[in-house]
Structure 1
């Protein structure tokens, strides 16, 4: 007999939902970056700020692994992580030259004390979890990144914060949290980052019709 369903937006719930929809997502979005020149530029600029060989995590990498692969192409030492074992299985198949691990983005601390990252990218990874978890997530990222290290967050703009019908059209309810520029700026600043830039773009054709926020920040020196 099956037990109770996990709390919406919890780690167990996110892994369960993405395990169930990873194959469909891959089918729909395997080639989406071919038509996203602005986003490719954003990642190239991030890689330039980090520098050749910099150690970076792509959190919430999903089943396609495109962001991880592009960061590797730009010369970074990158690891893609995701809560969903199925997403990681598919990403490894899609991008066999890249590294992927099943891991929670809220567990971004180094395996060895002092072995810090040079940067971290969150491409739509925040919308799967409740807004109340944003401070703890950013605190984990802050602890994982070296002073001067780079943070790139891309999020959908809005005010939703709860379970919704799956935009992919499956029978699942998925957690969905949108953010405003002010929310992201405030939360990132409170986690010992300096916000370097925020830009917003309109949705591309075929995307969910909401604007995208791009926030770049630098890790401040530890006190």
Structure 2
């Protein structure tokens, strides 16, 4: 009979692409209300993003990976003259970002599967915490394959050791995957994927943020080694 619990769709594997879509389609509107103007109160973040844009050649092709529903990072980078595409797995996030920032470009795309691109830069602004930490090496390898030699990478992530399903810190009432990272772990994974680490800074949380330190890692895609 319809309506039986057995007929309900099974929950996707925690941290999988389907799980990211489930969680973000459901909470995209809440996130937009909470963080639409977040960069106005985060001077350090704006400085780091501005510095990233300055390292990318004018007009360079850049992905804002895991752009979310606000589109604010995509807009900031585009204002520097970069050719930016905001990408996100969640169709709802992309729809809201297009509405919020009609002058910017957005697409539904998996940031973990972009190896065929030819980019000058990639920003991951709090986009890694939806996937298990065990997937970090594969994600960074995909990003390295998508960036040209000399291409720029910026990762912003929350510091910690959490790695599993928790109650949504945003207060949506959902159970979501939540992964945190250490400076050492990000450095090691990026280096193994073919990036040269240029800078790694950690800051304390602002008063209105989740009370977790933030890690900012800037790196350059190293030249590909010729086969022997």
- Asked whether the two chains share a fold, i.e. TM above 0.5, the reply is yes
Deviation at 1:89, TM superposition (A): 0.2
Q: Partner of 2:205: helix, strand, or coil?
A: coil
2:126 matched to 1:124?
Answer: yes
Distance 2:177 2:30 in 1: 17
Deviation at 1:2, TM superposition (A): 2.1
Structure 2 gap segments, 5+ residues each: 1-6
Distance 1:131 1:27 in 2: 28
Distance 2:170 2:132 in 1: 20
4+ runs deviating over 3 angstroms: none
Q: Report the RMSD for the aligned CA atoms in angstroms.
A: 0.8
Distance 1:105 1:79 in 2: 12
Distance 2:203 2:82 in 1: 26
2:174 corresponds to: 172
Distance 2:49 2:173 in 1: 33
1:66 corresponds to: 72
Q: Partner of 1:28: helix, strand, or coil?
A: helix
Distance 1:42 1:176 in 2: 24
2:154 matched to 1:152?
Answer: yes
Q: 2:84 aligns with which of 75, 78, 85?
A: 78
2:51 corresponds to: 45
Q: Partner of 2:75: helix, strand, or coil?
A: helix
State the TM-score, normalized to the length of structure 2. Answer: 0.95
Distance 1:188 1:46 in 2: 17
State the TM-score, normalized to the length of structure 1. Answer: 0.97
Q: Within 5 A, what are the aligned runs for 1:1-223?
A: 1-110=7-116, 116-223=118-225
Distance 1:98 1:61 in 2: 12
Distance 1:86 1:69 in 2: 18
Structure 1 gap segments, 5+ residues each: none
Structure showing greater Rg:
2
